[in-house]
Amino acid sequence: MTAFHRYLGALVVLLFVVIVLWALLLRVARREEAPDGLWAVQHWTENLLVVQTVLGIVLLLLGRRVFAQPDAWLHYLYGSLFPLIAMVAGRLASMRRERFSYLGLAWGAFFAFGLTLRALQTGCGYSMGEIARCLRLA
């Protein structure tokens, strides 16, 4: 289950990048409405983040701890609470806008990206090489 938790965490980070880049392209193209696909990616990313958080809690209850870094205790905040708050804030911001509603999602995804990447770093290591080894990509 730990490998699945790592891979799902990396997928969530990548999906946040997709949301931010998609919204940036929409803004450059001056599109006022977001396509349904962006909302679908946002919805599934939120769901996967919740699944990832539940998996992390299960691992914690099973006695699995993060020991990779000295500040590994931050992994629990970066990986669950803070990104969930960023996503809710982004969703609320997007609901308050009539035009360019996807910008709220983009900002929420941007902050959640940074936080979930930080969670991945506190679990695997700070360098890209350490993250790749953790995910067995290198």
pLDDT tens, per residue, the chain with 138 residues: 578 888 898 899 999 999 999 999 999 999 888 888 998 998 899 889 889 988 888 888 888 777 656 676 777 777 777 787 887 787 777 777 777 878 888 888 888 888 888 888 887 877 888 888 888 864
What's the pLDDT at 137? 66
**Distance, C-alpha 87 to centroid of its chain:** 9
In the chain, the largest separation of any two C-alpha atoms, in whole Å, equals 50
Q: pTM of the full predicted structure?
A: 0.84
Helix (H, G, I), strand (E, B) or coil at 32: coil
Rg, C-alpha atoms of the chain: 16
